[in-house]
Amino acid sequence: MTVQSHVQELRRKHQNLSEEVERAQRTPSADDLAIAAMKKEKLRLKEEISRLSH
**What's residue 38's pLDDT?**
96
Residue spans of the domains in the chain: they are: 3-53
pLDDT of residue 12: 98
Q: Which pLDDT does position 1 carry in this prediction?
A: 79
What is the pLDDT, as a whole number, of residue 36? 96
Residue ranges for the chain with pLDDT beneath 70: none
Predicted model pTM: 0.87
Q: How far apart are alpha carbons 40 and 54 in whole angstroms?
A: 22
Instruction: Give residue 29's pLDDT.
Output: 87
Cα 53 to Cα 3, 4, 17, 21, 49, distances in angstroms: 8, 8, 20, 24, 6
